[in-house]
Amino acid sequence: MSSTFHPPKRTLMGPGPSDVNPRVTGAMGAPTIGHLDPAFVGLMDEIKELLQYAFQTKNQLTIPISAPGSAGMESCFVNLLEPGDKAVVCQNGVFGGRMRENVERCGAEAIMVEDEWGKPVDPNKVEAALQAHPDAKLLAFVHAETSTGARSDAQTLSALAHKYDCLSLVDSVTGLAGVELDVDGWEIDAIYSGTQKCLSCPPGISPVSFGERAVEVIKNRTTKVQSWFLDMNLVMGYWDGKGGRTYHHTAPVNSMYGLHESLVILKEIGLENSWAKHAFHHEALAAGIEAMGLGFVVDKEYRLPQLNSVTIPEGVEEAKVRAALLNNYNLEIGAGLGALAGKVWRIGLMGESCCKTNVLLCLGALDAVLTDMGAPINSGKAVAAAQAVYAG
């Protein structure tokens, strides 16, 4: 017989979702009101302003898509591309490949720029591709590659797009609130993210922002956007607020309460403090990982502090380690994807999950599990190395 579901209490240190602040879950439990209720319309305006702060932009078309990050990605591609268009797409991990899928499903041509997984996108390769394809409409790349933990230079890549009269389209699902991101300062034309990473909100909403150049492209399309639900020409009428809200869809009201509260928390902390927090706790985690004798896939210069791809010791069955961490410590870390499947663990330090307690728990538990399995590591060194960072 079915009964009420009671989820286990986990510590989430995988690639997302991250731990959720109790203030956010508390906000989501508030009474549901209508999605056109004047009180909710006022909340929508606040969410827009807070998202503009998080993205560091004045873009009017800065809104939360009522669906997860993958829908944010799709909303950017289906609105900006038409059949026959050409897009330069950078791939240095799983999510660059998903960009390619979106381009092709729009009936456009994807010009691929490939880089090794774990490396950042190479601006020289990008410039060569743009020179070779002067008719390209946009340049799409991942700022913070969740499958590897590599950070690419979004400012330089966006500048290259404009140099060759392209729009820049950026995936920062894992980047937002975790590392520096300046949409207006870097002149990013379109960007999407997710709520379940460094914003520490439950999954299911995707913040997006479109600049003036992108909005002009959307307004001057010669074909209909292939997705009715994600058509920004329609969605703008619901989120714009000028002259009244036009009904488009029933927004996930309580989820929006949660997003609002998570953004309020981010504003209280301050963006730069949030970036510094992720960098600091990553330093402690990295010290422990390296003291254990393990390494990272990504070079330090390009490493995302909030997403750490850690190499697996020789002879270790990585899935058994993750299962032991989950069963014995209620601790979740992630497996590798694509080319890195079976070669790395992905350890997340995102938002609410990014704290001293979690770093020490993860290092101590990983040390204990690997030692128990007879793995070739420096047992008993990890926690002390992290503690030294915190003490110093």
- pLDDT tens profile 183-234: 999 999 999 999 999 999 999 999 999 999 999 999 999 999 999 999 999 9
| Per-residue tokens: 14 | 């995988």
Q: What is the pLDDT of residues 345-363, one digit of tens each?
A: 999 999 999 999 999 999 9
Q: Is the pTM value of this prediction over 0.85?
A: yes
Q: Is residue 252 part of a domain?
A: yes
Bridge-based pairing state of the strands 307-311 and 167-171:
unpaired
Whether residue 251 is found in the same domain as residue 275? no
Q: What is the mean pLDDT of residues 16-33?
A: 98
Backbone φ and ψ of 134, nearest 5°: -65, -15
Residue 48 lies in a domain: yes
Same-domain status, 302 and 205: no
Residue 38 inside a domain? The answer is yes
In this prediction, residue 237 has a pLDDT band, given cuts at 50, 70 and 90, of confident
pLDDT at 110: 98
Note whether 285 and 189 are same-domain residues: no
Residues 258 and 237 in one domain: yes
Is 326 domain-assigned? Answer: yes
Same domain, 157 and 34: yes
Which of 336, 347, 344, 339 shows the shortest CA–CA distance to 308? 347
pLDDT higher than threshold 70 for residue 65: yes
Co-location of 126 and 214 in the same domain: yes
Boundary (domain end) residue, out of 234, 251, 267: 267
Is 307 found in the same domain as 243?
A: no
Q: Give the pLDDT confidence of 277-323 residue by residue, as tens digits.
A: 999 999 999 999 999 999 999 999 999 999 999 999 999 999 999 99
Pick from 219, 239, 267: which residue ends a domain? 267
Provide the pLDDT for residue 241.
Answer: 65
Give the domain range for residue 70: 22-267
- Indicate whether 228 and 355 sit together in one domain: no
Domain CATH code at residue 45:
3.40.640.10
Query: Are 147 and 211 contained in the same domain?
Result: yes
Percent of the chain with pLDDT over 90: 96
For residue 258, what are the CA distances in angstroms to 47, 68, 279, 311?
Answer: 10, 14, 25, 35
Same domain, 333 and 214: no
Among 224, 241, 267, residue at a domain's last position: 267
On whether both 168 and 185 belong to a single domain, the answer is yes
Same domain, 213 and 228: yes
Tell whether the model's pLDDT for residue 57 goes beyond 80. yes
Looking up tokens 């599990």 gives 369
